[in-house]
Amino acid sequence: MIAGTGCGIITNQGAYPDPLGEGKSYFRQIALFDDKFLPQFEQIAGYIHDNGAVAIQQILHAGRYGGIDLGYCVQPSVVPQTLPHFRQPREVSKEQIKAMVTQHAEAAKRAIKAGFDGTEITSFMGYLLANFNSKFTNRRTDEYGGSVENRGRFMRELIYAIKEAQGDDHPLIVRLNGAELMDVHGGNTEDECFELMKMAGDAGVDMISVTVGWQEAPESSIGRDVPPGHWNRLAIRAKKLLPNIPITFGVRLPNPVMANQNIADGEFDYWEVCRPMLAEPELLHKAAEDRLDEAKHCLGCMNCLARLFRDLPYLCTNNPALGHEVEPEYLITPAVVKKKIMIIGAGPAGIECAIAATKRGHDVTIYDKSDSIGGSLVGYAAYDIANKADLQSQISYYQTMLNKLGVKVNLNTDVNPKLMRSILHQYDVAVLAVGAGVDTSVIPVPEQEGVLVLAADVARGKVNVGQKVVVLGGGKIGLTLAEGLTQEGKEVTIVEKEKRIAGDVIPTWKWRHSSWVDQLKIKTLTLSKPIKIGVGGVTVVNDKGEETFVEADTVIAASPRKPNQELFQEFEFMVDELHGVGDAMVPRGLLQAIHEGYRLGVRI
């Protein structure tokens, strides 16, 4: 499937080159330190060539982020980790450096022997080559440390050795930071990065891929909170610096139309794409056929990388089949028995189920009591301070697909037992994808009408919110609303019963929400719960029994969430097959909604 994406060059995932596994950075990473691995590489190169693409094998020694199966990692100097996922460092000797160069060259030779057209080495994200290049991790006093010239020595030796090993007919690509984003740690300046880039060019690399940031960088580089095109200036600088070397670029550049224009404008020569194609493997074909409205987008949620930090295989929020391409259970295949399906709920879970089921030949109708599709995603998109367009594009995609597939959508329709009785036997299958609500039974009854409102109603703009706001619940719903409302100028206080906020937030966004709450100076009361919603505000008590009065014109109920499961029992004897998906089963998030909806759609 990857080989068939339409890419002109396909780079296979980085293989670590050393037998000890000091270069191994993540679970299930491939290795290339022995000829015994050749058959699998031959197969991959063959797949790529069969689809007309150039096959490149990346050789990745992770250095500071390596040794994932060991108790240590290796670096030019001992500089302790700033992220506790990684192993503690050992300094490499000059003999070890020579051995590393040899291992890289042998791995490259092996890749060519397996049928790959060229190889790539990588100095970004904080891997071994970056560790030598950067002042942050290279504090050596021998010929491999000190000046840029000396720090770049390891890179030059790698380039010379690999070029010699694989021959002039096979290109060598190097990925280099245009910016490390490690200034606070004393990392390389951008000028030093480009000095190293020039050095790589002079040493004979055939192509340079410009990248941004280290894993440990204290600022975002590829998440949704970075605007598309933000880093293009680095590619432009590289192209000006090295006009005769092909420059590839793709950092936070998810849109093929934008990338195409950038190439036409001479900003760089080739568009690199990874995450957008994990989300939508047919991205290039859809772009070429002017069907981008049918393409799913990378939502910049970084769940893919978060999984690697848990030693788990990749997955994609937006592509449930990723990593399961050869499993029939994940593929859209014609249904043996065509069924009439009613899906109750036009959120991501319901629509994903509808799209997959319709593609299989089922006759699908969606019902939703609101006046638009999207479910809770509508609210997230409206208040997301990272990048509203990314989440809104998901809703646009859903609308397009429902229209193109001819899925019937009945909005403003509350599905209840009475309605079900009126349409009895019209459907073979009912899918409850009605999401979750807030359990208001645990919230004090307000003394004043209109003060307490539901998060969903705020998110969909159904209610007016006063200037002083208390949000009950510091999970992702409460935080998203609190941040958005604060940006609108409201004075917001979050009341959270747990010790910490963001308890239900995915790991990649926990720190973002925490930072935003601090930056926006949103007051948070943790280990606290409301005991009275009175005139003018909320009385809150903490775990020590201390009471606080918080002024509020509006109190938003954002927690605790409860699944909307009432219809399960009501409908049990009204339809042949009854299923549930997404938050209606257990309140979680977008990933589970998309995955469960799709998985049900391909199996009904």
Please tell me whether residue 21 binds other proteins under the rule CB under 8 A. no
Reading phi first (left if > 0) and then psi (alpha if -120 to 50, else beta), residue 539 is in beta
Shortest Cβ distance from residue 139 to other proteins (Å)?
9
Q: Which is nearer to other proteins, 183 or 428 (CB)?
A: 183
Please tell me whether residue 220 binds other proteins under the rule CB under 8 A. yes
Q: Is 401 within 8 Å of 359 (Cβ atoms)?
A: no
Could you tell me which residues are beta bridge partners of residue 59?
A: 15, 121
CB contact set of 233 (below 8 Å; sequence gap of 6+): none
* Binder of other proteins out of 21, 204, 361, 507 (CB under 8 A): 507
Please tell me whether residue 213 binds other proteins under the rule CB under 8 A. yes
b/e map of 496-530 (b: 16 or more CB within 10 Å)?
bbeeebbebbbebbbebbbebbeeeebebbeebbb
In the block, which residue shows the tokens 């699998």? Answer: 40
Q: Which is nearer to other proteins, 184 or 411 (CB)?
A: 184
At residue 551's C-alpha, the angle toward residues 548 and 557, to 5°, is 90
* Binder of other proteins out of 39, 50, 78, 396 (CB under 8 A): 78
Shortest Cβ distance from residue 77 to other proteins (Å)?
9
Shortest Cβ distance from residue 472 to other proteins (Å)?
22
DSSP structure class, residue 555: E
DSSP structure class, residue 79: -
Q: Which stretch binds other proteins (CB under 8 A): 109-117, 299-307, 357-365, 528-536?
A: 299-307
Residues within window 255-284 making contact with other proteins, judged by CB under 8 A: none
Q: Which is nearer to other proteins, 409 or 517 (CB)?
A: 517
Rounded CA separation 545/148 (Å):
60
Shortest Cβ distance from residue 322 to other proteins (Å)?
17
Q: How many residues sit in the footprint of other proteins (CB under 8 A)?
A: 39
* Binder of other proteins out of 500, 523, 536, 577 (CB under 8 A): 500
* Binder of other proteins out of 42, 195, 219, 498 (CB under 8 A): 219
Shortest Cβ distance from residue 547 to other proteins (Å)?
20
Residues within window 381-400 making contact with other proteins, judged by CB under 8 A: none
Q: What are phi and psi of 280, to 5 degrees?
A: -140, 90
Q: Which stretch binds other proteins (CB under 8 A): 5-13, 27-35, 143-151, 298-306?
A: 298-306
Q: Is 367 within 8 Å of 412 (Cβ atoms)?
A: no
Q: Which is nearer to other proteins, 141 or 441 (CB)?
A: 141
Please tell me whether residue 228 binds other proteins under the rule CB under 8 A. no
Please tell me whether residue 185 binds other proteins under the rule CB under 8 A. yes
Shortest Cβ distance from residue 502 to other proteins (Å)?
10
At residue 491's C-alpha, the angle toward residues 514 and 220, to 5°, is 25
Please tell me whether residue 70 binds other proteins under the rule CB under 8 A. no
* Binder of other proteins out of 11, 221, 248, 319 (CB under 8 A): 221
Shortest Cβ distance from residue 455 to other proteins (Å)?
25
What are the tokens at 536? Answer: 């003018």
Please tell me whether residue 540 binds other proteins under the rule CB under 8 A. no
Please tell me whether residue 140 binds other proteins under the rule CB under 8 A. no
Shortest Cβ distance from residue 205 to other proteins (Å)?
26
Q: Is 397 within 8 Å of 295 (Cβ atoms)?
A: yes
* Binder of other proteins out of 117, 216, 267, 272 (CB under 8 A): 216
For strand 561-563 and strand 436-438, is the pairing parallel, antiparallel, or unpaired? Answer: antiparallel
Rounded CA separation 538/48 (Å):
62
Q: Which stretch binds other proteins (CB under 8 A): 155-163, 257-265, 379-387, 510-518?
A: 510-518
Residues within window 144-183 making contact with other proteins, judged by CB under 8 A: 181, 183
At residue 384's C-alpha, the angle toward residues 383 and 388, to 5°, is 100
Please tell me whether residue 85 binds other proteins under the rule CB under 8 A. yes
Q: Is 547 within 8 Å of 495 (Cβ atoms)?
A: no
* Binder of other proteins out of 133, 211, 215, 248 (CB under 8 A): 215
Q: Is 299 within 8 Å of 391 (Cβ atoms)?
A: yes
Rounded CA separation 197/181 (Å):
16
| Torsion angle in degrees (nearest 10) through CA of 167, 168, 170, 173 | 110
Please tell me whether residue 515 binds other proteins under the rule CB under 8 A. yes
**Minimal CA–CA distance to 593: which of 434, 471, 405?**
434
Shortest Cβ distance from residue 87 to other proteins (Å)?
7
Q: Which is nearer to other proteins, 185 or 324 (CB)?
A: 185
DSSP structure class, residue 376: T
**Minimal CA–CA distance to 534: which of 551, 546, 522?**
551
Q: Which stretch binds other proteins (CB under 8 A): 32-40, 41-49, 78-86, 312-320?
A: 78-86
Residues within window 22-61 making contact with other proteins, judged by CB under 8 A: none
CB contact set of 109 (below 8 Å; sequence gap of 6+): 165, 166
**Minimal CA–CA distance to 26: which of 77, 84, 66?**
66
Please tell me whether residue 518 binds other proteins under the rule CB under 8 A. yes
Q: Judging by beta carbons within 10 Å of its beta carbon (0-12, 13-18, 19+), is residue 543 exposed, middle or buried?
A: exposed
Please tell me whether residue 243 binds other proteins under the rule CB under 8 A. no
| Residues near other proteins (CB under 8 A) | 78-88, 91, 181, 183-185, 213, 215-223, 302, 305-306, 308-310, 500, 507-508, 511, 514-515, 518
